[in-house]
Amino acid sequence: MAEPQDPERDPRWDAVRAAARRRVPTPPGLVERVLRAVARGRRTAVEVPGETGSLRVTGTVVARLASAIAAERAPEGVRVSAVAVEDDAVQVLVSVRFGLTADAAAEALRQAITAELSRRLGVATTVNVHVVDVHPG
């Protein structure tokens, strides 16, 4: 069996090495989009007062907490599809089982998430629950 050739000397890798040396330009607008997203994340931070000071919680943390609460508190027949913080409010997308009253199920989940976020964070947070689909059960 032949000894494997050293990849550093293998001519088949010349094209790969040449591509690695080439400068790849940043796509137009990418830096601006990233900076806007970072700034948006800072604006969506929630300030949580405490005994020894206040804590700033980012929108990502609020969304994850809301997602966990939604999973725990979703009424039977309600499936949580997505949770995000947008426009300074928690947006929750759900599907409901066929036959459920969608408005009542969404309102029950909204109230549960709002109350638990308020209890855990110590501040009122706007929560919107949107029914986006119906599933057979």
Q: Are 84 and 58 spatial neighbours (Cβ–Cβ below 8 Å)?
A: no
pLDDT of 73-112, one tens digit each?
Answer: 999 999 999 998 887 789 999 999 998 999 999 999 999 9
From the list 115, 78, 108, the residue with the least C-alpha distance to 93 is 78
* Residue 50 backbone phi and psi in degrees, to 5: -140, 175
Q: Kindly list the structural domains of the chain, giving each domain's residue range(s) and its CATH number in brackets, ordered by start.
A: 33-135 (3.30.70)
pLDDT of 27-69, one tens digit each?
Answer: 787 677 777 766 665 555 666 666 777 777 788 888 899 999 9
d(CA 104, CA 78): 11
Mention every residue, 6+ apart, whose C-beta is less than 8 A from residue 64: 83
